[in-house]
Structure 1
Amino acid sequence: MKSGKAVVVFSGGQDSTTCLFWALQRFEEVEAVTFDYGQRHKLELECAARIASDLKIRHHVLDMSLLGQLTPNALTRHDMAIEQKEGELPSTFVDGRNLLFLSFAAVLAKQVGARNIVTGVCQTDFSGYPDCRDVFIKSLNVTLNLSMDYEFVIDTPLMWLNKAQTWQLADELGAFQYVRDNTLTCYEGIMADGCGECPACLLRARGLREFEAASKEGRRV
């Protein structure tokens, strides 16, 4: 039985859209929040708004453009290459992004009477981002509760899933084709299956192949 209210941290990508469908099956009310942090592709904001409209979800967009100005990264700067050098964080890592996004999502959640915050962070296929780790989420959950004297729960339905299992979850939610056709994961700003060459597209495509192979053999991934 559905109960309560949730705010989904929502980018319009594969992971957050899967999380949105997940939340819709579990909560009576669901709202989405998207952050404008100066990302290279404004299509991300348009994609998120379109999906929220399709699913008839109240959609908030918060201005976080200062974040893009503070930290040089390949997601906000066209003059930086998308790369990962051995022993270093990927150039797509944005310092403080999930810390700030989840903190602002919590402020919003309290204002709209939501106790649950849903995010698509994942430690299994996390690309080396430290703010996608389970230990960070648990730590922040405690901090947010203490900071606002309000009992939040940060839900991370994808935390221990690889990309193939994330595709499987979308399929179980009846959203596989919608997620495949309508989300934006590509670092080059190309919808659906993307450019096929950037790290995000390669991860997504590998997971899709593994899921489809397992489905043909009638087994779970």
Structure 2
Amino acid sequence: MHAKALVVFSGGQDSTTCLVWALQQFEEVQAVTFNYNQRHAHEIEVAAGIARDFGVRHHILDLGLLNQLAPSSLTRADIAIGAGTDGGLPSTFVDGRNMVFLTFAAILAKQLGYPHIVTGVCQTDFSGYPDCRDVFVKSLNVTLNLAMDYTFVVHTPLMWLTKKETWRMADELGYFDYVRDRTLTCYNGVMGGGCGECPACELRGRGLRQYEEERFGEGTHG
């Protein structure tokens, strides 16, 4: 174990798995959640509850300007949630969100004296979001270090994992049931198994079924 880490935290499957991972990797961990007037604002309450469960100090930062600047189906009730068509981005994409989140997380982390930042972005099983790519995170990491003259290290423990492998990671960390039942990934704000219909639920559910088949199905050992 070493140093101190700030986890960018939404209360979903990925960020909760990252929080558990960070608690096993670092001496001190805090979490930050962003309020950008998101459609499923219930995630802020869920994130706060999970942070309490783990005894982690939880910061909530107001980023309402992002809602004003970047309308999407995650910020506007009158925009339908849907996958991208003709190679376009899904309606759930919020321009610049991860860039803004990581930048504000870094500003907070420096004030706390925390050089490590943990985020659950993933390039393997994602919706085509450009700000989930490894090259973006590495580029921003360099920029943050230069901008604030501080040696940040941005960790992305899920970057190359499929959703199935993320479920396996939660299981290996000892929190499979917790992540399955207590997190909020659903774009419609339904905890646990979610609505089962939105793109986030489809991706989460497919990975869960694949992992449970591996873990409990015939021919497996766990």
What pairs up with 1:191-206 in 2 under 5 angstroms? Answer: 191-206=191-206
The whole-number CA distance in structure 2 between the counterparts of 1:150 and 1:174 is 34
Q: Which residue of 2 aligns with 1:149?
A: 149
Residues 138/219 of structure 1: CA separation in 2 closer, same or farther (3 Å cut): farther
CA shift, 1:219, in A, is 6.4
Aligned to 2:19: 20
Partner Cα distance (2:32, 2:193) in 1: 24
Report the counterpart of residue 53 of structure 2 in structure 1: 54
C-alpha RMSD of matched pairs (Å): 1.0
CA displacement, residues 36-59 of structure 1 (integer Å, 9 cap, x when unaligned):
001012211000000000000000
Q: Once the 2 structures are TM-superposed, how far is the Cα of residue 86 of structure 1 from its aligned partner?
A: 2.0
What does 1:138-217 correspond to in 2, within 5 Å? 138-216=138-216, 217=219
- Residue 123 of structure 1 deviates from its aligned partner by 0.1
Output the CA distance in 1 between the equivalents of 2:87 and 2:159.
Answer: 23
Question: 2 CA distance for matches of 1:155 and 1:119?
Answer: 6
2:169 partner amino acid: L
> Aligned runs of 1:58-73 on 2, under 5 Å?
58-73=57-72
Equivalent pairs: percent with the same residue?
A: 68
Q: Which runs of 5+ in 2 are unaligned?
A: none
2:117 matched to 1:94?
no
For 2:127, the aligned partner's letter is S
Name stretches of at least 5 consecutive residues in structure 1 with no aligned partner. none
Q: Name the CA distance, whole Å, in 2 between partners of 1:87 and 1:177.
A: 36
Q: Can you list the C-alpha shifts for 1:132-157, whole angstroms capped at 9, x where unaligned?
A: 00000000000000011100000000
- Secondary structure at the counterpart of residue 68 of structure 1: helix
Comparing 130-139 with 209-218, greater Cα deviation is found at 209-218
> Could you tell me the TM-score, scaled by structure 1's length?
0.97
d(CA) in 1 for partners of 2:31, 2:76: 26
Q: Choose 82-91 or 153-162, whichever is displaced more.
A: 82-91
The residue that corresponds to 1:126 in the other structure is 126
- CA–CA separation in structure 1 for the residues paired with 2:13 and 2:221: 22
Question: TM-score, normalised to structure 2's length?
Answer: 0.97
1:11 aligns to what SS in structure 2? coil
In structure 2, the partner of 1:136 is 136
Secondary structure of the corresponding residue to residue 214 of structure 2: helix
Kindly indicate whether residue 72 of structure 2 is the aligned counterpart of residue 85 of structure 1: no
Q: Given the alignment of the two structures, is residue 111 of structure 1 paired with residue 139 of structure 2, yes or no?
A: no
Structure 1 position 72, deviation (Å): 1.3
What is the match of residue 42 of structure 2? 43
Quick one: distance in 1 between partners of 2:36 and 2:85? 24
Ranges of 4+ aligned residues in structure 1 off by more than 3 Å: none
Give the counterpart letter for 1:38 in structure 2.
Answer: N
- The 1-side partners of 2:221 and 2:38 are apart by 38
Deviations along 1:116-169, one digit per CA (max 9) or x if unpaired, are 000000000120100000000000000000011100000000000000000000
Higher mean displacement: 16-25 or 211-220: 211-220
Give the AA of the match of 1:146: L
Separation in 1 of the partners of 2:73 and 2:178?
28
